[in-house]
Amino acid sequence: MNAPPLARTPSSSLSGAWLTPLELGLLGAIWGASFMFMRVAARDFGALPLVEIRLALGALVLMPFLWRARAALTPTLWPKLALIGAINSAVPFALFAWAAQRAPAGIGAITNSMAALFTALVAFLFYGERIGRRRAVAVFAGFVGVVILASGKAAGASIGEAAAAGTTAAFLYGIGANMVRRQLTGLPAGAVAAATLSCAAVLMLPFAVATWPAQPIPAVSWLSAGALGVLCTGLAYVVFYRLIQRIGAAQAVTVTYIVPLFAVAWAWLLLGEPMTLTMLIAGVLILGSVALSQKQAG
């Protein structure tokens, strides 16, 4: 079930004037920090155990939404929820965690921004939606940005594999977004998120157990994994649903523009990871292409 609407009081429009930018900024900071947390924790947990913790904690935070709307999620829906959980959560999260073991946090955040473009591209390729000249140009510019990003190096090492993993994850997000829109229309978003995360956690569990690290895991990695699941997955979804309810999905998705900025800033401040020239050029191209695509959508 979605978060309750804001009360219709005389000050509601005034509070919305500052509350919406505040929540957009907060969400951008939280999702930007998720790439830093993955960067810290993935090297000790490994990709699959870290993703299992993230999914399980995120689902736990959102479980009240699922409980309230449990009657709406009939048994016939659960196979779809499981499939979407794999495509939209389990596999992309694993790809981003794998990339975080090999490249700076900013790489994952920049490639993540391609999700909006891939959503339009998947709708065009598989569902016959018109993409339009502006979005076609935006998709091309975004791919150029990814190629530039993949050609770069960080600390002397190639980041091409990490960029490819992040781009694949963004493509899966594009598939998942189209599946949710067409197959789960009318269902409470919070309940759908809780259900898909729960299914993804169940699917990921045997892989996480099989690859669980034998060595002790430092406290900082446990804290990072906990923050990734509770803050960056569970609570972030709650904020995102509030924004969708107040300003609509098209406006709420503009948070995509600022996530990479926060990701690079957090990684620079707390991990000492610099912004490279290829990251800067690729980031400008990708974020510019997303902005161009959203301009048409609006």
Q: Check residue 277 and give its pLDDT.
A: 81
Alpha-helical runs (H) found in 46-104: 47-68, 78-85, 91-100
- Mean pLDDT in order along the chain per 10 residues (298 residues): 36 59 89 95 97 97 93 93 95 96 90 86 87 81 78 67 93 90 84 94 97 96 97 90 73 79 90 84 81 62
Q: Check residue 17 and give its pLDDT.
A: 67
List all residues 6 or more positions away from 202 whose beta carbon is below 8 Å from its beta carbon.
Answer: 82
**DSSP label of 129:** -
Q: Check residue 254 and give its pLDDT.
A: 73
Dump pLDDT digits (tens) for 254-284. Answer: 787 788 888 988 999 999 988 878 878 878 8
State pTM to two decimals: 0.85
Q: Give the span between the Cα atoms of 222 and 210, in whole angstroms.
A: 19
Q: Give the span between the Cα atoms of 200 and 85, in whole angstroms.
A: 5
End-to-end CA distance of the chain: 26
Indicate the burial class of 34 (C-beta count within 10 angstroms; 0-12, 13-18, 19 or more): buried
Q: Decide: 113 and 287 in contact? Cβ < 8 Å.
A: yes
